[in-house]
Structures are given as structure tokens and as C-alpha cells.
Amino acid sequence: MSSSTEAQPVIVLVRPQLGENIGKAARAMLNFGLTELRLVTPRDGWPNPSAGPAAAGADIVLEQARVFESLAEAVADCAHVYATTVRKRGVTKPVITPELAAQEIHAATGRSALVFGPERSGLETDDVALARAIVTVPINPEFASLNLAQAVILCAYEWSKGQNLAQPPQEELLPPAPQEELEGLIAHFEAMLEPRDYFFPEIRADATRRNLRNMLTKPGWNHLEVRTMRGVLSALARTDVRR
């Protein structure tokens, strides 16, 4: 899958109110590989000194951000425009999830745009009318309030699933210990427990040993874990306790 700028959706913030929120949206974008930000008449102008600190290092997004006088101008080169809103606002459009929108964007020919409204009021009816579809997140109807960065990050994350972004490194796992080492551990436990009458009464001794074996073999110990546990047992068996 190509990760070129042409394949990326444009993120459009319509009349954003706070520089901090623009910065947080930029941070959310770059987290998932998006870099093209367009602003439609930001309330406090642009550039905004409050955006930088909130972007937490996503400077490339802010430096390349472009400002437009209208949403129509901001999406003029986009063949596929998605309006994010929790309400249809009287406009009859297909309503889809961020996941489906991401799938359509990956399959589409031509540029795509994800449009987000101002923090307080969201997109107006005329804004939504420019879109081909409405993107709505399934959300608690009793508290359907997302902040701007949250909305951006949900859509950016869904888009990123189709990209080859780096994954967090997995911890290197050691192979399970060989049976011989597990038998040594079990025998070590039994040798310490036997003189303390752990397997008493004799009629229950076999069942008790079986339960102990099942418990010790279940975790899938690696050889370092077996060695560590045997070190613990040896320390408990010592009579020359250091103080």
C-alpha cells in the first residue's frame, strides 16, 4: 500500500477556535502518518503560537498547514469529502463509520478529505452539504461529546490500519524450558516439602503431588524462570540466614 502524500486523506479543520486544539489535532495526525492539514478561517488567525507546544513535536504538520477562506476552496482538489458530525443536520447523506470511510479512502481514486467542525458547534448544514458522506462514531448517546483531537485521532487511526506503520517492538520470548529442567524444579519442591509433612496424609500424597506438578507445569516456564525459582527454593532452604 502506498504511503505517498497523494494517498493520504487531507484533514480539514473548519473554523477551529483554539490554537491548542489545532496543535493537538496535528499531533494526532502525525501519530498515524498523516501530514496534510488545511484550516478554514481559524478564529485566532494563523500561525498561532499556542499550537506549537500542543503539537508536541508534530511541527512538520503545522509548518505545512494551509489556510483557506472557505471549505469549498479547501476541498476543491478533493474528489471524496467526508464530513464528521454526530448529527445529520437536515442533510440527506450516507452515514458511515470511520472504519468504512477509511476503507473507501484506500480504495478511491483521487484525493480525499476528512472535514471537522469547530469545537463548540460542529459543522454547519452548508458545510455538511459539500460532503459525499457523513462520518459518525458509534458513541454513547447520553454523552456524545468528542473533542477535536479525539475525533481526528479516531479517523486517522482507522486510516492507518491500511498502512505499513511501524509496530512497537515485541519482547523477545525465551522458549519453554525442557522437561528435564521442569522435573528438577518439581523434585526440588518435593524435597523441601516432604520433611514438612506437606504430603500427609499418605492416602492423599499422590493427588497432592499431581496437583503440585500441574501447577508448576502450567505456566510454561522458560529456563531462566526455572533457574530463578530454584534459586528461591535454595535460599529458603538455607539455615545460615543473613541478617
10-residue mean pLDDT profile of the chain (243 residues): values are 65 95 96 95 94 94 96 96 78 88 92 92 90 89 84 94 69 82 91 89 90 87 89 84 55
Could you give the 3-state DSSP secondary structure of residue 14?
Answer: strand
pLDDT at 3: 44
pLDDT at 150: 92
pLDDT at 119: 83
How would you list the strands of the sheet with 133-135, edge to edge?
66-68, 37-40, 10-14, 111-116, 78-84, 133-135, 95-96
The answer to whether residues 130 and 83 touch, using CB atoms and an 8 Å cutoff, is: yes
pLDDT at 241: 56
User: Which CATH number is 5-160 given?
Assistant: 3.40.1280.10
At a CB cut-off of 8 Å and minimum separation 6, what does 174 contact?
Answer: 222, 223, 224
pLDDT at 71: 96
pLDDT at 219: 80
| Cβ-count burial 137-172 (b if 16+ within 10 Å, e if not) | beeeeeeeebebbebbbbbbebbbeeeeeeeeeeee
How many CB atoms within 10 Å of residue 69? 9
In the block, cell 486544539 appears at 21
* H helix and E strand count, the chain: 10, 7
pLDDT at 20: 95
CA–CA separation, 117 and 38 (whole Å)? 12
pLDDT at 80: 95
In angstroms, how far is CA 172 from the centroid of its own chain? 22
Task: Indicate the residue type of 53.
Answer: P
Provide the residue ranges of all domains of the chain, joining segments of one domain with +.
5-160, 179-237
